[in-house]
Structure 1
C-alpha cells in the first residue's frame, strides 16, 4: 500500500525506501523487484509525503532527509500491539494484495467536516480581552480557515487560549496540530487540552518520550484515533486527519529550528501545511518576530492584539535604570550590576511577602574571568579557551577543554589574582542570599529547571527560558546583565532580548497588585521602549523595516554555504543562480571553514533553492570528499 516502508536494492546495497504510489504500468524499461515490505503499516500519509516534497524543495534538501524527520523510527513491538488490538472487521477488507488488509489503515474521512453532536461550540472566555479573538473562534467553529498572529497579554494563560481554539476546530469536525518549544510548555498544554476536551482526545509527540511511546502516539495520530496532536519540534510533520488548524507558541524560540538537514523551521513547516491543506493558522507569543510581522503586513494573517484598556490593567510597572531621572538619583546606576532601584524593588516585594524573580543571561558561577591587575581576559594555556570559576573555592578551568589551570599566571603582567568578567546565575544567587539574609533562594537553569514556586517571600534566580511561574505572580522581576543579550553579534539580538524579557515580565503581577519589572538598561533603546509600552508589534514592524532597507531576512531570502574554501567555491561555481542573486562573503566560520551567503528577492527563493540543490547533487555524483553545509534562511548569519 502507498505509505509502507520497503527495502530495495540500489547500487548493490539494500537500502530503505517508501512506496509512494501504485500504478498499472510504467514507462520505465527496466524495473527491479522490491526486496521486502518491512511493515504492512502505511505510516507515511499522502498529505505528509506531499508536504515533505515541498519542504525539501523549500530548503534545498532531499526528500529522504525530510522523511527521516517526518516519520519516527519503526518500533516492531508497538506495531504488533496496534495490529492485535485493531477490530477484526478492519482486517477483512478486500483487496488484491495482503498489504492492503492492514488493520491500521486509517478509515476514509467524510467529504465535508461534520461537527460531532456532543461537542458544543466553545465560549470565547479569555479571548474576549482581544477585539478579534471571538471572531477567530467563531471562524474555527464554523469550519473556516482564519490565520492570526496573536500578541498575548502579560500573565495570560496561553495554554487555555490554545485549548479553546483547538476545541473550536474539533467542534467543526476537523483536526488540529499545535507545536511548542520545550517539555514544560508541552506539559502545560497537555493539561489544558485534557481539561477542555477530555482524556484520549489528543496525543503528545516529543523526542523525549522514548522510541516506544513516541511511535505509539504517532500511530494513534496516523489512524485518526485522536483529532488533535501536540508536541515539540518533532511533531511539525505529524499526520492529522482533516487538518483544520496549525498553531505554534513562541515561534522566536531557537528550539523550533531543526538542527539536522535540511534544517527546516517549525513555523515555516506549519504555515506551509496551512497553505496546502487550506487550514487555519495561529502564531502566538508574548513577543512578535519579524517573520510574524511580515505575515501581518502582507495580509496573509490578521493580528490579534489586546484591548488597550485591558493591557493597561494587566501590565506590571516597567522601569529602566539607565534613564536620566534614575541616573540623577543614583549616578552609579549606569555601571552597577544591581542598581539601587532594582535592590529597592526586590526589598519592597520581599517585605510584602511576595516572590522576586531575577533573570540572569549566563549560567554557572563565574563563566568568564580576567586578570585582577591588568584586566586581560584569562585564557587556557593549552587551547586558548576562556577560563571560568566553577565555585567560590574552586580552581579556574577551561570551558573548552576542561583542563584545570590552578597555577594560572597572566601572560601580560604575571598577576595571579582573578576577577569576574561575567557573573553567572549561581554567583548571583550567592550574592543576593547575602544581601537578603533569611530569604529562601532558588535557582532554575540548566542543572535543574523549576516549573513552579510558592507565592511567599523568596528569591528565584533563573536563566532565560527557565523562569518558573509563581503562585499569584511575582512582586518584582529584575532583568540583569541586559548587555549580554543586546550586544550579541547576531541579526536577531534585539528581537531575542525582547522575547526573553517579555517572557519573564509576563510572570509579574499587574501594576495595581504591586507588580514591578526593573530592566537594567538604558530606557532609550528600542527593545526597552517596546517592553515599557508592552508593544512588541511596534518593535517587530521597526525590525522588519530596517531589514528591508538592509536586505536581510525575512525581507529577503538568504542561503548559507559553509565548508572548506575550495569546496564552497566549487559548489557555488556549479550553481546556476537566478538573476538578481548576490554573493556576500566569504567570512571565516569555525576552524578552517568559511561561509558564503547567497541573497535573492523572495520571489526568486525557489529558483535559488533549486540551483543550490542541483549543485550539491553534482558534487555528490562526483563523490566530492569535502562536505559543505547548505542552509536556507538560517537563524544565524554570522
Structure 2
C-alpha cells in the first residue's frame, strides 16, 4: 500500500489517500517521490507520503498510476515543516508544497549528479563578531547543538554579507548546513560574492530569476548534499538542506519576504518554525528591527545580539534632523522655495570637496505632481487624514470648470484650501521625484557627476569619488568606501502613509542609508526631531524603537501583540464565511471595512467592475490563542468548500497591510 497526498488544492480534500502499488513499481515507490494517481476519474499529481502494509479504508482501493520520478524530493523534514506552515497560516498542505518544491525538470534530474564539495580546511576568523555582546556565547551554543536564537542589529557601516558568510562557514566546518535568506537579488549578489570567497563550491544560490532548469538543478544539489550552504530569496527558506545547523533571515521587515500566494507565509515565521523543528540556530538580522522580532525577544524565545552603545556611537556618522519649525529652516529662503535647505547643500558640498560621494534619498522616482502652500512651501495636506492633495476637475464640468483640490487617500474635498502651517489660502503645483531632484542638484553643483537609481534603472554600486547619487528607497547603490554624506528628502511622503507599518518602514529605510555613511560623514534628515522614529535614527537605536512600537500596538490590540486574520472579498461572501467560523473564546470581529489603500483584491475579482464591493473583515484574538483561530479558519474553509460556494475570498493570518 502507498499513502499518497494528491495535489488537489481543495480544503476538504487536503489529506492523504491509500492506493495499491503494482509489483513493478514497488522499488521506485518510496516515500517522498512524485506520483500520478487517478482521483474522481482524472489523473492528478501527488506525493507518496509513506508505505504501509494495511489500510483502514473499508472500500476498494485504486492503483498507483505511475511513479513520475524515483527522486525523493519530499523529505521528512520538509513534510513536517510544510504541515507546520499550513497549520500556522490556515492553509492547505498542497499549497505549501507548491511553494516549497520547484517544478520537476526531467532532463536536469537525469543528468549526472554533482560531486559534494571538498571539505573546508579550517574555521574562519570570527573576530569581527566580538564587537557584539554575547556573540561568543551564541557561537558556543550553536556548536553544542543547543539551537540558539538571536536578533542581530548590524552596526553602521557593517559588511553584513561578510559577517553572515563567516557564520555560515563556521557552521559548515562543524559538519552542519546553513540557509541564509535575503529580500532581493541585489542583496543576494553581495551575499553570494562573500560566501563564495570563503566557501567556494559549498554555496548554492536560489532565486526566482533563475530559469526552471537552473533552479531545479541547484535545488537538487542541496537535496543530494552536494552543497551545504543555501542562500537565496524568499522560497529558499524551504530548501531541503541536510543536518541543518543555522538559519539566517536578513532584513525581515522587507515586504518581499511575504509570500504573495496562498497561504501567504512570511519568511521570518517559516524560519522560526523550521529552527524550532530542526533545533537549528536562528539569526534574524538587519540594520533595523521589526515589532515581530522584538516580540520574540520580549518573550524570551530569542535574545539580543547587539553592540554596546559606545561602539555604535563610534561607528556611526552625525545625524542632523531639521523640521520646518527649526530656526535654521525658518530663516532659510532657499528652504522656503525648495525642498533642500542651505544646511543640506553645505553638507553635500563639504563631502564632495573631500572627494566622497553623496547620497540623496527621494521617496519617489520621475516627476510626481503635487501641491504645496504658495506662502510657506509646505506640502498641501488633507485636514481629515493628513494625506496629500491633488487637483481634480468636477465630474459635471470636466474639462471646462476650474479644478478642485481633493485628498488622494480619503477623497475628501479641500475647498477652500487653508494651510495648516501658516494659514495661507493659495496653493501651487510642485513636482517631486528622483529625476527632478537630479536635475535640480545638477544645476546646483555644476561639474559634479549625478547618478540616479530607481525604477527600471538600478545601480548596484558606485566607486569612491565626488558624485551625487539620487536614489529611491531600496535602490541605493553601495558606495565602495561609504558615503561622505546623505540627504533624506520629502520624509513626509513615508511618514504620512495610512499604514500600520509606516514609521517602522521609514526607520528601516533610513537606517539602511545611515548605515552606509562613513563614521566621519553627516546625514541630514528633513523631519521633526521630536518624532520617536526620527530620534531612533539620530541615536541609531532600532531596538528601542521596536520596543516602543510593540508597546504601542499592544495598547490598541494590533499585531504582533495579537493574532489578526483578514477575510477579503465581496461583502456577502465574506460575511457568509465568517458566520461559518466556530468562534474561539475571545475572538473579535471587526468590519466589514474597505481594503487598505494599495491592497489588491483577491485573485479573480475585478475591483473596477461596477458591481464590485470588495471589503475586508478582520478577526482578532489573543496571541497565545492564535493556533485556535487558525484551526477555526481552516475548518470554516472546509465547510465553505463542501457547501460549493462560488464567490472568491482570500484568508490571511497576520497580513502585512492591516489598514
Task: State the TM-score, normalizing by the size of structure 1.
Answer: 0.87
Partner of 2:33: 4
Secondary structure at the counterpart of residue 486 of structure 2: strand
Q: d(CA) in 2 for partners of 1:334 and 1:491?
A: 31
Q: d(CA) in 1 for partners of 2:306 and 2:393?
A: 50
Tell me which moved more, 481-490 or 323-332: 323-332
Partner of 1:508: 517
Q: d(CA) in 2 for partners of 1:609 and 1:179?
A: 26
Partner of 2:43: 14
Q: d(CA) in 2 for partners of 1:625 and 1:145?
A: 46
Partner of 1:434: 443
* Counterpart among 390, 397, 422 of residue 377 in structure 1: 390
Q: Is contact 1:3-1:20 (8 Å) kept? A: yes
Residue 329 of structure 1 deviates from its aligned partner by: 5.0
Partner of 1:362: 364
Secondary structure at the counterpart of residue 236 of structure 1: helix
Q: Is contact 1:371-1:378 (8 Å) kept? A: no
* Counterpart among 177, 190, 194 of residue 179 in structure 2: 177
Structure 1, residues 363-403: CA drift from partner, whole Å, max 9, x if none?
22225579999x87234899x9xxxxxxxxxxxxxxxxxxx
Q: d(CA) in 2 for partners of 1:464 and 1:299?
A: 33
Q: Is contact 1:326-1:333 (8 Å) kept? A: no
Partner of 2:23: none
Structure 1, residues 101-155: CA drift from partner, whole Å, max 9, x if none?
xxxxx9xxxxxxxxx9854333222111112223323333344321110011111
Tell me which moved more, 465-474 or 331-340: 331-340
Q: Is contact 1:558-1:632 (8 Å) kept? A: yes
Structure 1, residues 200-233: CA drift from partner, whole Å, max 9, x if none?
1021111111111100010010111111111000
Secondary structure at the counterpart of residue 35 of structure 1: strand
Q: Is contact 1:140-1:168 (8 Å) kept? A: no
Q: Is contact 2:586-2:621 (8 Å) kept? A: yes
Partner of 2:22: none
Q: d(CA) in 2 for partners of 1:312 and 1:577?
A: 50
Q: d(CA) in 2 for partners of 1:354 and 1:621?
A: 65
Partner of 1:537: 543
Structure 1 runs not aligned, ≥5 long: 88-105, 107-115, 385-404
Secondary structure at the counterpart of residue 465 of structure 1: coil
Task: State the TM-score, normalizing by the size of structure 2.
Answer: 0.84
Tell me which moved more, 272-281 or 293-302: 293-302
Q: d(CA) in 1 for partners of 2:429 and 2:170?
A: 54
Q: Is contact 2:392-2:403 (8 Å) kept? A: no
Structure 2 runs not aligned, ≥5 long: 1-29, 381-388, 406-426, 596-600, 602-606, 608-612
Q: d(CA) in 1 for partners of 2:309 and 2:438?
A: 37
Secondary structure at the counterpart of residue 607 of structure 1: helix
Secondary structure at the counterpart of residue 472 of structure 1: coil
Mapping for residues 68-87 of structure 1, pairs under 5 Å = 68-81=98-111, 84-85=112-113
1:59 and 2:89 are equivalent in the alignment: yes
1:524 and 2:554 are equivalent in the alignment: no
Q: d(CA) in 1 for partners of 2:394 and 2:277?
A: 56
Residue 5 of structure 1 deviates from its aligned partner by: 1.0
Mapping for residues 30-429 of structure 1, pairs under 5 Å = 30-81=60-111, 84-85=112-113, 119-197=121-199, 199-322=200-323, 324-327=326-329, 329-330=331-332, 333=335, 336-366=338-368, 368=370, 377-379=390-392, 410-412=402-404, 420-421=429-430, 423-429=432-438
From the superposition, tell whether residues 200 and 69 of structure 1 become closer, same or farther in structure 2 (CA, over 3 Å).
same
* Larger relative strand fraction: 2
Q: d(CA) in 2 for partners of 1:372 and 1:73?
A: 58
* Counterpart among 486, 490, 510 of residue 499 in structure 2: 490
From the superposition, tell whether residues 598 and 352 of structure 1 become closer, same or farther in structure 2 (CA, over 3 Å).
same
Mapping for residues 468-487 of structure 1, pairs under 5 Å = 468-487=477-496
Q: Is contact 2:114-2:221 (8 Å) kept? A: no
Q: Is contact 1:143-1:172 (8 Å) kept? A: no
Q: Is contact 2:393-2:401 (8 Å) kept? A: no
Partner of 1:556: 562
Q: Is contact 2:329-2:341 (8 Å) kept? A: no
1:619 and 2:621 are equivalent in the alignment: no
Structure 1, residues 43-72: CA drift from partner, whole Å, max 9, x if none?
111101111011011101101100000000
Residue 310 of structure 1 deviates from its aligned partner by: 1.9
From the superposition, tell whether residues 280 and 244 of structure 1 become closer, same or farther in structure 2 (CA, over 3 Å).
same
Q: Is contact 2:296-2:302 (8 Å) kept? A: yes
Tell me which moved more, 322-331 or 440-449: 322-331
Q: Is contact 1:482-1:520 (8 Å) kept? A: yes
Structure 1, residues 3-36: CA drift from partner, whole Å, max 9, x if none?
1111112222211111111111111123211112
Tell me which moved more, 318-327 or 535-544: 318-327
Q: d(CA) in 2 for partners of 1:596 and 1:220?
A: 44
Q: d(CA) in 1 for partners of 2:630 and 2:195?
A: 39
Secondary structure at the counterpart of residue 358 of structure 2: strand
Structure 1, residues 160-207: CA drift from partner, whole Å, max 9, x if none?
11111111211221111110000111111111111112x210211111
From the superposition, tell whether residues 368 and 212 of structure 1 become closer, same or farther in structure 2 (CA, over 3 Å).
farther
Residue 506 of structure 1 deviates from its aligned partner by: 0.9
Secondary structure at the counterpart of residue 207 of structure 1: coil
Q: d(CA) in 1 for partners of 2:489 and 2:233?
A: 29
Structure 1, residues 547-600: CA drift from partner, whole Å, max 9, x if none?
111111111000000111110111100010200000111111263111010000
Q: CA RMSD for the aligned pairs?
A: 2.7
Partner of 2:657: 636
Q: d(CA) in 1 for partners of 2:79 and 2:114?
A: 25
Count of aligned residue pairs for this structure pair = 582
Q: d(CA) in 1 for partners of 2:265 and 2:646?
A: 25
1:608 and 2:637 are equivalent in the alignment: no
Q: d(CA) in 1 for partners of 2:44 and 2:296?
A: 41
Q: d(CA) in 2 for partners of 1:566 and 1:240?
A: 45
Q: d(CA) in 1 for partners of 2:330 and 2:577?
A: 58
